[in-house]
Structure 1
């Protein structure tokens, strides 16, 4: 029991006297009821006595000092503060049971006792009157008190700290794989004469998890990886203790599809975060891995049927083997990086791409990445004659999500290059009569806010329309050229006939002599 000095004894005497005065000297109210019955007088005296006893208990409790609860984990550093408002000109004595730990005098001097320094090696220090216990150990849990004295024997205030142990364990030791059992235990010592605290756990996202007396068992997922927090409520306060959990999992899949086109690159992400080594993955019993592709319905003759693209071959040097060639390449050759790329997308790239790693005990890591292709359709075709009607459509083959929009970028020579922005943010528009200035590259961009997700380009070729005079001129030139050719052929034929006739007159056939032949006359 804390030491009570002279001042404390005086206070107790005054309190006892006050109780006696109240008991034997009725107040004016009581004097006005002298004619009351003995039963009424007895009830009134009992009421006064009870109130006085309660007052005495309050005074004794105040004199004896307050008790505070402190929860700590083994290895944690805690700071115990003296009573609030303690003047630096008062004496402080820190004790653990009968062992004096540290002191501070009214001149600012302080120290750790020799006996405490031997028992609590390099664990104790004072800072502004507060006692600091570094890296608390099993033997340090218990009661520590701080006594405030005005002189050597005059006790001004006392505070007692009950240091209770808080133990947090994670079973089994991490890292874990998704699907494995994870057990978290938070055990807080029960304060004397109080109920055991109703502890609970907060997951790495800060959400409260239902548990049974501080014990929580779950099937591990990627979201369980991180810092878990055990919360111990007590005395209108709470103590928090952390436990680290590591779950090996693939990086989260993109929250929206990956967009590509035949004019922009294709990238399909899937990988194990860099802070996990391949040695850790091997230690968890990896069996293999693969990539599958399921085409979007209607985008391919084999829509809906999975195609195996790559397989992971294990060995001294793990490598990815190509099963089906879609001109896709692995971004890196590291076994834990499964990201696929191609310089340009294709119209048949739409669908679901699934990367999977297989482990022992039928445990798997897998992610599905959806890919959509942006396309432009031109009607009637991409080669037109000036004056024809043109219909252009850009899209993904379904209505766009509310946070996405399209933007057309026509050639600078087109009349639509100066059109209002709203006219160029539609998926479809019609040009009643195209001109030669509308020829060139038309670009359609898919945007989220101001970020371009992908784009596609189409090239239009517009030939000038032929007028009536141009047709007349072309026909006239054609006729003239035709007549000139006829005349040339006629002249050549006449010259050849005349040459043949002249040759016949100069030659004759002779009968004698007998040998046959032609002879010059």
Structure 2
């Protein structure tokens, strides 16, 4: 008897065309999930459709008389579009899915003589952050949950659409549907996180945003700021909006202390942020007139929620050095010098020409760190700018002016004027020495003549003394 019942069941299954398939569906929490259930249309029969969830009973049902039934808990979120029935599509849509919606669903369709049953496993993915807006240096964890967890699945993380490489490692505990990234909060963690779950050819994704509060500009330590000698420059130090640091401070770090930098003396033209600035989160400082010796590392800091946040940056100063050959051949060599060239990969010299109206135009362009030119040529007169690049990114520039009249470099007339002043001073000093020597010689000759006649000298002194005595007696009378 049992064998006969088994054979009867198999024959009934084959005659009715019943089918059973299992489909994996991933949906992120809060999104819409579509549970597929499709079969070949069979007109003109009215289908009987029922969706069930394992251990939860009926989710949605449509009888042949057209009446529908919804689960009380899903009335507002579940629907099965009638417009697709004619195409044999009886897929179930669940809006704003929650983690408790995950599980196995069964679609049962009786369409004429055709009976279709399909099993759909709905897995809800969700990414969460322990603290969405941590302070720089805090412990932070980003979790990836899948309900129910697909055993044997692989999980990977991306940050701002790039694969994330952890510094402290990824902690996995798939038995509890958890995959966690644990890191110290830094600017590199800021952005959009994506948890990607791969399972049986299907891919599930979940997203989370993380913002680290602290010094947001510069965004990372050892950022470089470029400035030309004689120009003004701003050293940025901007905290996250809403963060008001207490006891803000600026320091210039001594270069000899590599592992534990020690503070040095700030430049004379250094100007910190004003105490009563309208934007207290902006603690940027400025140098009114940069000198080449001002290049180096600087550090800004401030106390936020009991911890001191710091940011190091480097000021790179650029200048143009001119050299003239020992033999005056009417030429000059310009060299573009930077206090730090670690980022520079290319130098470019641009000749800038101004017309009578002050309109600027770009002349010749030459490559290289040094530039040699003839100062006698009118074509070389005007302004030359040295542009320095990292690959194709312009880092900064510094300009140099060649005198229009003399055709000499800006530093050569200065040198000539210094030499002329020195020559004039030396000539004047020599003239004074000659006059003193001449006077000394005359005095010597006069004394020499007087010493030849000592008696005459005695008479002269006696006469002079008698005259002075008579004048004093007349005054007394």
TM-score when normalising by structure 2: 0.61
Change in 2 beyond 3 A, CA 1:340/1:125: same
Tell me: CA distance 1:378–1:164, structure 2 relative to 1, closer, same or farther (3 Å). Answer: closer
- Give the aligned partner of residue 162 of structure 1: 121
Cα distance in structure 1, aligned partners of 2:254 and 2:382: 30
- The Cα of 1:140 is off from its aligned counterpart by 4.1
Unaligned runs of 5+ in 2: 1-5, 85-89, 356-360, 409-477
Q: CA RMSD in A?
A: 4.6
Q: How does 1:222-371 map to 2 (within 5 A)?
A: 222-251=187-216, 252-253=219-220, 257-262=224-229, 264-272=231-239, 276-278=240-242, 281=243, 286-294=245-253, 306-307=263-264, 325-328=268-271, 330=273, 333-342=278-287, 344-360=289-305, 363-371=307-315
Between the aligned partners of 1:425 and 1:88, the Cα distance in structure 2 is: 80
Alignment match, 1:120:
74
1:404-425 residue CA offsets vs partner (Å, 9 max, x unmatched)? 2131537789xxx999744x75
Shift of 1:374: 2.0
> CA 1:244/1:84 → structure 2, altered by over 3 Å: closer, same or farther?
farther
Give how far 1:369 is off.
Answer: 2.4
Q: Look up the match of 1:28.
A: none
Would the aligned equivalents of 2:136 and 2:187 in 1 still touch at CA under 8 Å? yes
Work out whether residues 222 and 314 of structure 2, in 8 Å CA contact, stay in contact via their aligned partners in 1: no
Count, aligned residues? 367
Asked which structure has the greater CA Rg, the reply is 1
CA distance, structure 1, for counterparts of residue 62 and residue 157 of structure 2: 39
Name 1:95's counterpart in structure 2.
51
Match of residue 177, structure 1, among 135, 146, 149 = 135
Partner deviation per Cα, 1:16-66 (whole Å, 9 max, x = no partner): xxxxxxxxxxxxxxxxxxxxxxxxxxxxxxxxxxxxxxxxxxx79x94511
- 1:102-159, CA deviations, whole angstroms, 9 ceiling, x for partnerless residues? 3387xxx97742xx164423112223332111223466444432223222xx343211
SS at match of 1:257: strand
Cα shift at 1:9: 8.8
Residue in 2 that maps onto 1:207: 164
Q: Give ranges in structure 1 of 5+ residues lacking alignment.
A: 1-7, 16-58, 298-303, 310-323, 466-521
Residue 458 of structure 1, CA deviation? 3.8
Q: Measure, in 1, the Cα distance between the counterparts of 2:23 and 2:334.
A: 77
* Secondary structure of 2:203's aligned partner: strand
Q: Take 1:392 and 1:408, find their aligned partners in 2: how far apart are those partners?
A: 12
> Could you tell me how far 1:360 is from its partner in structure 2?
4.8
Cα distance, 1:224 vs. partner?
1.5
TM-score by length of structure 1 reads 0.57
Residues 88 and 421 of structure 1, relative CA distance in 2, 3 Å threshold: farther
